[in-house]
Structure 1
Amino acid sequence: MNDAQPPLCIVCHHDLFTDEWDRYCCRPCQQRIDADLAALAGPVTWQGTGRERRLVSGLFAALPTELEPSSRSNGPRVSGSKSAPIPARMGPLSDSANGGLVNDLEEWVRDWEHRGYATRCRAVRPQYRMDQAVATLRFNLDTAVRQHEAINAFAEDIRTIRSTCEAMIIGARPPRDLSAVCPCGTRIVFHLDSQMRHCKGCGTDYGHKALIELALATRAA
């Protein structure tokens, strides 16, 4: 009789089925990662009605509509004002620009490329880069869940990016970024509800408590 304990999904920490033992995460978690990626790219698509209405794709494409402070106003926009223009809302602007959320996704594409199962795109416009990065990550996701020991960090990053976009679109406050510096010199960005982060410099995994302690040590230094 085989009393060996089944391995755990490193994302949800539930037992893997026997036919999932060649994977780091279970199929439901893989499906959630894929859904989070799919929600970021493409044209804006709504699903449902009333309070159940939500964006199911095009979250990144929807961010530019949030740039103007009056974008939530129900009244008409008035042109010809003699007053100075009000600056754009900086949150969506920075997150939809080249160095924002697109760059966060492309870091994972570069990581996967170094492992031999992804190829970076050469697009220039942020929306094209987002669409290409999402397409690349979705296409190679099945390989990554079997070969990438930090697929849980990837899952959390993608969930955070989706939540950040949704929060700005519906007017909620996005999660606050915190950071810590690993002893190897790599900066790790996380949030107060982050359960784990993987250092891309040395490969060390930090749990929630370790992240907080590392952030405090970084601040003290």
Structure 2
Amino acid sequence: MNDFPACTRCAHDLRDDELGRLLCLRCEDRAAQQLAAIQGSSGLYAQLAHHLQRGGSNGGPAVSGSKAAPAPLRVDVLSLQCAGGPVLGPLEGWVRVWEEAGHAELNEGASLQQRVDHACRTLRYNLHWAAESFAAADAFAAELNTIHRTLTGITAGEKPPRHVTVTCPCQQPLRITLDVRALTCPGCRTEYGHSEILRLPLAERRAAA
């Protein structure tokens, strides 16, 4: 058994200058790079606008005078762009949690792009604190990685990873991808490896109202 302190995200042993941290410097740097890639007018979130049309080459405007019907919009991209979708929703969710700890400030009074940019900026600004002291730093880094991979898959023309929701024995729903490496339940703090996560039962669908 390895008794050396390890990063809660990648499970690599912490170096002498990383002792006492929850995330190693490598995982902190990766999270900072992912947040930087998501925000901004040319960032991954903004690039979604160029991938809205199904079957379109670049999402540009239709040629004037064309009699062809416009290509249908991609529902998966629309979902990623909306306020409660799997990009802004989780990012602002973490801002709320960090705000309660006195390490962030939410901004919901702007455009969606501005809200994404603000969330990424404030999370990056407080990332060092999170890597050292935030109990759910590993869960944050794992969800951020999922968001980044999804956006990268869309903007690079790749199929995004499939998501499923499983249920921890404490009844906390966990939204995962099938290739997730490890995860800590934010409800009961139980740590799961890849095979253990995939053995958890699928969350029951809510009955239609």
Partner of 1:51: none
Q: Which of 1 and 2 has greater Rg?
A: 1
Moved more, 141-150 or 11-20: 11-20
2:187 pairs with 1:189: no
Q: CA deviation at 1:195?
A: 1.6
- Give the fraction of aligned pairs with identical amino acids, expressed as a percent: 40
Q: CA deviation at 1:133?
A: 0.5
When the two structures are aligned, how many residues end up with a matched partner? 203
2:57 pairs with 1:94: no
2:156 pairs with 1:170: yes
Contact 1:65 1:71 in 2 (8 A): no
Separation in 1, partners of 2:72, 2:130: 41
Q: After the TM superposition, which residues 29-178 of structure 1 pair with which residues of structure 2 at under 5 Å, given as runs?
A: 29-44=27-42, 58-72=43-57, 77-82=62-67, 84-100=69-85, 101-178=87-164
Query: CA deviation digits over 1:62-101, x for unaligned, max 9?
Result: 1011112354169993334455433211121110111211
Give the counterpart letter for 2:33 in structure 1. A
Partner of 1:50: none
Moved more, 95-104 or 146-155: 146-155
Separation in 1, partners of 2:55, 2:198: 38
Contact 1:41 1:59 in 2 (8 A): yes
Partner of 1:12: 10
Contact 2:56 2:71 in 1 (8 A): no
Q: CA deviation at 1:211?
A: 1.7
Structure 2, unaligned stretches of length 5 or more?
A: 205-209
If the length of structure 1 is used for normalisation, what is the TM-score? Answer: 0.81
Partner of 1:26: 24
Query: CA deviation digits over 1:147-175, x for unaligned, max 9?
Result: 12332222221122111111111211000
Contact 1:184 1:201 in 2 (8 A): yes
Cα distance, 1:118–1:75 mapped onto 2, change above 3 Å: closer
Give the counterpart letter for 2:71 in structure 1. I
Structure 1, unaligned stretches of length 5 or more?
A: 45-57
Separation in 1, partners of 2:107, 2:191: 28
Runs of 4+ off more than 6 Å: none
